[in-house]
Structure 1
């Protein structure tokens, strides 16, 4: 590997490292796993050819997509290893509140944690493409065009996949609430 490429990766890590970590953290909800995913993303860059580097037009979107993919892979791995997407003791208390204006009550925090766990579990039941498109759009807030570019799709296909994925998630989440105890939704 050329010294210039190593330097470019170091610059990318410096510029986008926090963004990659934040993406992973929002998906897996655990800082240790998010750190591992961040390292994994940058280690994968060392295996890329110089030509692959030249083909990247939007490094922020590219690295976010890599972090999303690695995070979803981790969710699936944990889901396969247990009936739950993650054990309670591994991820309890790592959920950021939706609103910073006031601290959530313990009941609201528990309900939020339950909702996030159900969403993570539902994401493992989607196809890889559906999960990536959903997370890139609604968690990372990438545009349809950026998602299309990163996943080699058209913007129209992104919209179709998002529509189908939302419907599938609605079914999965309503099924999980119907099989368990329903809790209040907080805003």
Structure 2
């Protein structure tokens, strides 16, 4: 590996390290896991060839996609292995006013249900959903990162929202809302 590539990785870590960590944290809700994911992502960059480095046009979208994938993989692994609970705040709640304790409890339950439902859709569906609605990437950035067309991104998002709606409404109908162990 050339020193210039090492320098580029250091610059990427300086420029996007907080963004990568924030992405991982919003998905897994645990700072220790988010730190591990962030480190793993930058370690993976050291294994890339210079040609692979040159092919990346949008580092912010690329690294966000890597963080999303790694975070969803961890969620799926944890869900499969132990069904244990992660921290309550998996996704950031973008609200200017402080919610009441009752509303916060409801939001926490909803987040747990969404996190659980994301483990039930395909990996690609979960990635596209998180990149769009959590990371707020454009269809074009998602398409570029995942090597899809923008129209495919739209189709996948629509299908995923329908699946998640069915999964979430089923869990509410069956009372699973307060029994979910994610």
The answer to whether the superposition gives a TM-score over 0.5 is yes
3-state SS, counterpart of residue 91 of structure 1: coil
Structure 1 residues without counterparts, runs of 5 or longer: none
CA change 1:35–1:138 in 2 (3 A) is same
Tell me how far apart the structure 1 counterparts of residues 176 and 69 of structure 2 sit (CA, whole Å): 31
Task: Call closer, same or farther: CA 1:114–1:10 in 2, change over 3 Å.
Answer: same
Cα RMSD between the aligned structures?
1.7
Greater RCO (CA < 8 Å, at least 6 residues apart): 2
Aligned to 1:36: 36
Match of 1:112 in 2: 107
1:51 aligns with 2:46: no
Q: Name the SS of the counterpart of 1:57 in structure 2.
A: coil
1:151 maps to which residue? 146
* Worse-matched range after superposition: 32-41 or 49-58: 32-41
How far apart, CA to CA, are the structure 2 residues paired with 1:94 and 1:164? Answer: 23
Match of 1:98 in 2: 94
1:28, CA displacement in angstroms?
0.9
TM-score, L = length of structure 1: 0.89
* Shift >3 Å, 4+ stretches: 92-98
Distance 2:119 2:70 in 1: 13
d(CA) in 2 for partners of 1:93 and 1:155?
30
Where in structure 2 are the equivalents of 1:129-144 lying within 5 Å? 129-144=124-139
**Offset at 1:98?**
3.4
1:169 aligns with 2:169: no
For these two proteins, the number of residue pairs brought into alignment is 178
Q: Which moved more, 1:171-180 or 1:59-68?
A: 171-180
Q: TM-score, normalised on structure 2?
A: 0.92
Q: Tell me by how many angstroms 1:82 deviates.
A: 2.4
Instruction: Report the CA distance between 1:163 and its aligned residue.
Output: 0.5
1:4-24 deviation per Cα after TM superposition (whole angstroms, max 9, x unaligned): 111100000000001101111
Structure 2, unmatched stretches of 5+, are none
Match of 1:25 in 2: 25
The aligned counterpart of 1:66 is 66
